[in-house]
């Protein structure tokens, strides 16, 4: 049986750990609220971009664009398509199955075939795909940590991807990230970014005079807006992933705190039993000593 000193040491260690898990829970909670507020502040801008795209498509349904295509065929091992996957993970663990679920979906999609390139956001994902290169080549120049998302980071990243798409280095671009349904439900999802499908937009064809004037032309305006819209898709995915990571970490830390409380409770009971046993032993020794002197 452990000594009282050993039990006190274990209990103190668990209490220190519990303080850390509580602090991490509060930090993740604050980061989650901040990320949500930042996303809400930018939604109107990107919604306006979407409305502009819908207006142009509605009045020029026959317009052709590098950034649009009909429904894409399912990936096949010999289709020769060059696909880029932006995979959003975290920089560190302690977030339950957050990284595992994203990586699992990424492997399933990339395993279908094609010439895949991985653009990892987050150290966890980058390290994993560097070790498992069979699913897709990790771009050596692509180094983005899963820091607090900003529009500028999303812009820098997506501009590089769009550049490669324009140059023909990529045929399709997808984002794989975690979407938070609610406080207790999160799912890994894949979002198609390029080429876009006209079916992704809500509009009714109305060929004829535009309700707005687009200069120098609707075609050129569309070609300029779509890359910014893609930036918005990535920024939204980064925010969703970041919020999901914080939510997953909050859940993990809450569970860890509850487990620590249970361990402390058990150690307290064990300590009391050992202490009671020690007192009983001492009393028996005193009684035995007194009886021996009689």
Given a cut of 80, whether residue 137 has pLDDT beyond it is no
Contact residues for 168 (Cβ-Cβ < 8 A; gap 6+)? none
The CATH number given to 4-22+253-293 is: 1.10.287.80
CATH 3.40.1380.10 range(s) for the chain read 24-251
What percent of the chain lies above the pLDDT cut of 70? 87
Scored b (16 or more CB within 10 A) or e, 79-110 reads eebbbbbbbbbbeeeebbebbebbbebbbebb
The domain defined by 24-251 carries CATH number 3.40.50.720: no
Under the banding of pLDDT at 50, 70 and 90, the label for residue 207 is low
Q: What was the pLDDT predicted at 294?
A: 62
Rounded to an integer, the average pLDDT of 244-257 is 84
Question: 75-79, 133-137, 230-234 — which one is most confidently predicted on average?
Answer: 230-234
Under the banding of pLDDT at 50, 70 and 90, the label for residue 142 is confident
- Our CA angle for 202, 204, 209, nearest 5°, is 125
**What rounded mean pLDDT belongs to the chain?**
81
Q: What was the pLDDT predicted at 176?
A: 92
Q: What was the pLDDT predicted at 162?
A: 92
Given a cut of 80, whether residue 157 has pLDDT beyond it is yes
Q: What was the pLDDT predicted at 271?
A: 85
Rounded to an integer, the average pLDDT of 230-248 is 86
Using one digit for the tens of pLDDT, what is the confidence trace for 36-64?
A: 787 777 778 778 888 888 888 777 767 77
Q: What was the pLDDT predicted at 98?
A: 80
Using one digit for the tens of pLDDT, what is the confidence trace for 87-100?
A: 998 877 777 778 88
Q: What was the pLDDT predicted at 293?
A: 64
264 CB burial (10 A radius; 0-12, 13-18, 19+): middle
- Could you identify the residue written with the tokens 């993740």? 28
Given a cut of 80, whether residue 239 has pLDDT beyond it is yes
Beta strands in the chain (DSSP E): 82-88, 115-121, 137-138, 172-182, 185-194
| 1 vs 25, more confident | 25
CATH 1.10.287.80 range(s) for the chain read 4-22+253-293
Nearest Cα residue to 107 out of 96, 94, 118: 118
164 CB burial (10 A radius; 0-12, 13-18, 19+): middle
Residue 50 CA to residue 198 CA, distance in Å, equals: 11
Rounded to an integer, the average pLDDT of 18-31 is 87
Q: Which 3 state secondary structure label does DSSP give 73?
A: coil
User: CA 70, 75, 78, 83 torsion: positive or negative?
Assistant: positive
Given a cut of 70, whether residue 209 has pLDDT beyond it is no
Given a cut of 80, whether residue 242 has pLDDT beyond it is yes
């Amino acid at each position: 049986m452990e000594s009282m000193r050993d039990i006190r040491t274990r209990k103190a260690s668990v209490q220190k750990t519990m303080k850390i898990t509580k602090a991490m829970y509060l930090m993740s909670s604050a980061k989650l609220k901040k990320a949500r507020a930042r996303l809400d502040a930018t939604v109107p801008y990107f919604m306006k971009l979407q409305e502009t795209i819908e207006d142009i498509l509605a009045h020029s349904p026959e317009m052709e664009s590098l950034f649009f295509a009909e429904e894409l065929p399912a990936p096949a091992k010999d289709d020769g398509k060059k696909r880029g996957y932006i995979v959003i993970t975290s920089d560190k663990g302690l977030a339950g199955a957050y990284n595992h679920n994203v990586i699992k979906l990424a492997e399933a999609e990339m395993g279908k075939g094609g010439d895949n390139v991985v653009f990892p956001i987050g150290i966890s994902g980058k390290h994993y795909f560097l070790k498992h290169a069979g699913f897709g080549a990790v771009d050596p120049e692509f180094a983005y940590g899963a820091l607090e998302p900003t529009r500028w980071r999303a812009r820098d990243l997506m501009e590089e991807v769009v550049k490669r798409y324009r140059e023909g280095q990529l045929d399709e671009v997808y984002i794989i990230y975690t979407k938070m349904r609610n406080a207790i439900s999160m799912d890994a999802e894949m979002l198609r970014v390029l080429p876009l499908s006209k079916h992704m937009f809500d509009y009714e064809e109305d060929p004829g005079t535009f309700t707005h004037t687009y200069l120098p032309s609707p075609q050129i305006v569309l070609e300029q807006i779509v890359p910014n819209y893609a930036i918005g898709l990535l920024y939204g995915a980064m925010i969703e992933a970041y919020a999901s990571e914080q939510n997953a970490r909050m859940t993990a830390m809450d569970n860890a705190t509850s487990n620590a409380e249970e361990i402390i409770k058990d150690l307290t009971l064990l300590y009391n039993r050992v202490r009671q046993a020690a007192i009983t032993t001492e009393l028996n020794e005193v009684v035995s000593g007194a009886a021996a002197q009689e």
